Amino acid sequence: MIAIKNERELVAMRQACKITAAARALAGEMVRPGVSTKQIDKAVHAFIVAQGAKPSFLKYHGYPASVCISVNDTVIHGIPGGYTLQDGDIVSIDVGAYYQGFHGDCAATFPCGAVSTQARKLIDVTKQSFYEGLRFATPGHRVSDISHAIQTYVESNGFSVVRSFVGHGVGAQLHEEPEVPNFGAPGRGPRLLRGMTLAIEPMVNQGVYDVRVLDDGWTTVTADGKLSAHYENTVLITDGEPEILTVAEGL
């Protein structure tokens, strides 16, 4: 069942999303050569807790960290550790915060130092594909209208969208109905209604869309070893234009 949030619930959810967005921004500011992924995770954990929230990802189905940090050919669910960021890396930061019963969820890919022209294009296309899909996040459209817009934009720029993992509803649970794929024909899936909250998150590969999960059960990499980027926001369906909830202003 798709949860429709009321105004009281949205007050808490907006704050959860503000904390989440600020945590993403903090992590992004730390992306520079010489910084370890563990250092970023530790800083984000401390920030979220200081806001009176809890990291959504920590211990979620056993995940061992507060942030997913995915570097270069890692698509999602990269576990922070001793890896030290290098000039030219691209670094995907995915973070969630739980506050007063609700989750926020967002992600972005950041360049570390000077990156290649193709890597910069991949980051930019991935982010813009979110906004292409967002145009269809209005009442009366269906979920797959978002999906189709994302896929069309990504593929028109020579990249591919991951099929094995998708966006989702978000709220009292980190993952709720409906699933929000980044591919597919338009006009399918649930019709969008005011009060729905969706985590729209294109995951875009430089090469083929196939991925594989490593032996740790989390780290997901491109099948061909080429780069991948990720961009995500929590979005509220309103009576008119969609509202991006994962913005840090006013925190």
Name which of 141, 247, 135, 249 is nearest 194 in CA terms. 141
How far, rounded to the nearest angstrom, does the alpha carbon of residue 71 sit from its chain's CA centroid? 14
Question: Tokens in use for 151?
Answer: 């896929």
Return the structure tokens found at 199: 């985590």
Residues 77, 39: Cα–Cα separation, whole Å: 17
Tell me what percent of the chain is helix, strand and coil, each rounded to the nearest 5. 30, 25, 45
Q: Do residues 44 and 55 make contact, with C-beta atoms less than 8 angstroms apart?
A: yes
- The arrangement of strands across the sheet holding 243-244 comes to 176-180, 167-169, 197-200, 233-236, 243-244
Closest CA to 237 of 167, 165, 136: 136
Q: What is the pLDDT of residue 248?
A: 80
d(CA 195, CA 235): 10
pLDDT in tens, the chain (251 residues): 999 999 999 999 999 999 999 999 999 999 999 999 999 999 999 999 999 999 999 999 999 999 999 999 999 999 999 999 999 999 999 999 999 999 999 999 999 999 999 999 999 999 999 999 999 999 999 999 999 999 999 999 999 999 999 999 999 999 999 999 999 999 999 999 999 999 999 999 999 999 999 999 999 999 999 999 999 999 999 999 999 999 987 65
* Bridge partner list, 6: none
Three-state SS letters, 101-148: CEEEEEEEEEECCCCCHHHHHHHHHHHHHHHHHHCCCCCCCEHHHHHH
Give the per-residue pLDDT at 251: 58
**Residues 150, 70: contact at Cβ < 8 Å?**
no
- H helix runs in the chain, sequence order: 7-30, 37-50, 117-134, 143-156
Q: Could you tell me the pTM of the whole model?
A: 0.97
- Residue 249: the pLDDT is 73
Task: Write down all domains in the chain, each with its CATH number in brackets.
Answer: 7-244 (3.90.230.10)
